[in-house]
Structure 1
Amino acid sequence: MNFANEDLLGMPLDLPDIQKQRRIADFLDAETTRIDRLRQLRRTQAATFEERYIAAISELTTPGISTAHARNAAWPWLPEELATARLGYLARVQSGVTVHGARAEDPEDAVFPYLRVANVQGERVDLTEIKEITIPRPMAMRSMLQPGDVVMTEANGNPDNLGRGAVWYGQVANMVHQNHVFAIRVDREKLVPEYLSALLAASHGRRYFRFTATQVGIATTSSSKVLDFPVPVRTISHQAAVVGEYEALRSAADRTRSALTRQLGLLTERRQALVTAAVTGQFDVSTASGRNVTEGVSA
């Protein structure tokens, strides 16, 4: 709906006297400042929680990373005694399809769902929106995901988030992946996919990709750098035990994040409802604290 200037200027307003306007303004200044302070405290709490979560999974996946005195010569954030192996000895990287709108039609063309950069969100795959691509079947087969693949993006605007990966469990059949998404296919006899995903989420993965990143505008990596990633040498049973603890930490972290996000949402709703109630005269600001005006806001 569009309003002409004359319609807006001609709109009737319930205008209280100037003293009441000042009382409303003073009341809203005090109450919105209090709510804004609570929102900032929640944001600080969320940031502190994320730091502690990263510290916990980092010590779990690479013990001594925050306490060891002797450091690895090649990777100075790792403890010296931690033996590592190049990821290329334990996995291979599969390349994805390039989206090319000018490509000529092919008799073997078919429509496939494809995983984009936007779908890879840190430790999870977001399938809220799935795009489709029309490509020849042989091309699709070369870039089709398999359950157990670890997917990660080659670029990120935040260098600290570069290299974070998630395990693909085959949620969508015949899913191919974009060329800007790496699919790491591990040798299951040597490496547990979830263990690799945990390493990428922890300080070790973040520091490695920040340390080796190429940055012109945004931080980027390459398949060769992915294959050079140093993986701690652990038995499969040890990796599985680490994964069990990691998934428990991650589940608890998800619940905490959800609670903090919900609280921030409720504080935002409360602020909006308070302003509306005050300016529309739903309560007397000279006697009210405003703390009960949002009963309609879901708890």
Structure 2
Amino acid sequence: MTVRDLPFDAVFSDESGGNIKTPQSEYSEHGRFPVVDQGKALIAGYVDDEARVCGSGRPAIVFGDHTRAVKYVDFPFCMGADGVKVLRPKIEADLKYLYYFLRQVGLPNAGYDRHFKYLKRITVTLPPLPEQRRIAAILDQADALRAKRREALAQLDRLTQAIFTDMFGDPVRNPRQWPNAAVLGDVADIVSGVTKGRRLNGIEVRPVPYLAVANVQDKSLNLSIVKEIEATEDEIRRYRLQKNDLLLTEGGDPDKLGRGTLWQNELPECIHQNHIFRVRLKSDQVHPVFLNWLVGSERGKKYFLRSAKQTTGIASINMTQLRGFPLLVPPMPLQLEFASRLEHLASIRSGQTRALEAVDGLFASLQHRAFRGEL
């Protein structure tokens, strides 16, 4: 079997030019033609203008110049306005094979700099066309398994949201008329965390793990990278996290206000930085799991958007606004039942997550072997 190694420019034609680009401000939620930009999602929005369809609707690979995202697009689409590179083969080659090849290329991460210049320096390995199609078919099957696992996890997330609404009703309208006179400051102690770069004036310190904004996701933690900070024993005592502390980010994108999760002693000792609020319940009126979901619900989002300070697309809330968050207080037995249901679903989700990790590992192995000629 003859395998060729060709420079990028000998394989790919950059067909980005000559197309009408669609700025994000013109995206619609529905329309005749999808818009593909450099974001993570395959489809970013829709437009109705047929004149914007890229390259007569022929299949293409879309590369995000800033994001390094690689997408296979086999339907008529319109280009996003910034950082979109549309690639098609200029020689006889299988487009899906080329897509998988580009996905496994390790480009340097230059932040929001442009990355197409790095992509153009690569060498493309091309086995004969039938072998390209065979490899693409195998990777397609493995990728389809990954997609099914991810969809199963998404279904579990939707089920959890449905359970919340079914048990408590719409938290914005409160049709079941749960008591709503209390605010968060009535039932919880709320503090912000330790400040980086503060003056310690020679006081003895020791390193301790601390949570930054990137660690706190919507109802989950990302502990892949946990940094340490030098802190005094008094600071560690004041800011040390305890089981069922609700962690909320101070700010970020407006649609992410109220983002937070519960701490479940994932680390034996950990504190938090000042851009994260720690909410520690001091009342038995509210269950921490219910509180997490209430704060992250539409009720929370609407309240924080009304209250937040917004500058250049970034929104932030302060301690006073968080303390003033208007609660709903359903009966505790109902809150306990909700927490029990979520615990059961979390067990199922954990199994699905492990299965996805196994499939991801299989895909990475297949991909590695495929482009080393070992598949």
Q: What TM-score does the superposition give when structure 2 sets the normalisation length?
A: 0.55
The answer on 1:87 being equivalent to 2:174 is: no
Whose relative contact order is higher, 1 or 2, with alpha carbons under 8 Å and at least 6 apart?
A: 1
Amino acid at match of 1:110: V
1:51-66 correspondence to structure 2 within 5 Å: 51-63=154-166
**Quick one: distance in 1 between partners of 2:266 and 2:139?**
43
* Structure 2 counterpart SS, 1:62: helix
Contact 1:99 1:178 in 2 (8 A): yes
User: 1:150 — aligned with what?
Assistant: 246
**Quick one: distance in 1 between partners of 2:137 and 2:254?**
32
Contact 1:150 1:168 in 2 (8 A): no
Match of 2:133 among 15, 18, 30: 30
User: 1:184 — aligned with what?
Assistant: 279
User: 2:204 — aligned with what?
Assistant: 109
More helix by percentage: 1
Measure how far apart 1:145 and its partner are.
2.6
**Quick one: distance in 2 between partners of 1:42 and 1:226?**
42
1:1-299 correspondence to structure 2 within 5 Å: 24-38=127-141, 41-42=144-145, 44-46=147-149, 48-63=151-166, 75=172, 78-83=173-178, 84=180, 85-100=182-197, 103-106=199-202, 108-117=203-212, 118-127=214-223, 129-156=225-252, 159-160=255-256, 162-169=258-265, 171-173=267-269, 175-200=270-295, 214=310, 216-277=312-373, 293=375
For 1:3-59, what per-residue CA distance to the aligned partner results, in whole angstroms no more than 9, with x for missing partners?
A: xxxxxxxxxxx9679xxx999331343134324544554565455444433332223
Q: What TM-score does the superposition give when structure 1 sets the normalisation length?
A: 0.66
Which of the two has higher C-alpha Rg?
A: 1
**Quick one: distance in 1 between partners of 2:176 and 2:314?**
34
CA distance 1:44–1:171, change in 2 (3 Å): closer
Cα RMSD (Å): 3.7
> Percent identity among equivalent residues?
21
Contact 2:205 2:232 in 1 (8 A): yes
CA distance 1:55–1:129, change in 2 (3 Å): closer
**Quick one: distance in 1 between partners of 2:352 and 2:233?**
43
Measure how far apart 1:248 and its partner are.
0.9
Deviating more after overlay: 119-128 vs 230-239: 119-128
CA distance 1:199–1:144, change in 2 (3 Å): same
More strand by percentage: 2
**Quick one: distance in 2 between partners of 1:160 and 1:36?**
35
Contact 1:112 1:176 in 2 (8 A): no
Gaps of 5+ in 2: 5-91, 94-125
Gaps of 5+ in 1: 1-13, 283-292, 294-299
Measure how far apart 1:211 and its partner are.
6.9
Measure how far apart 1:258 and its partner are.
2.6
Deviating more after overlay: 157-166 vs 199-208: 199-208
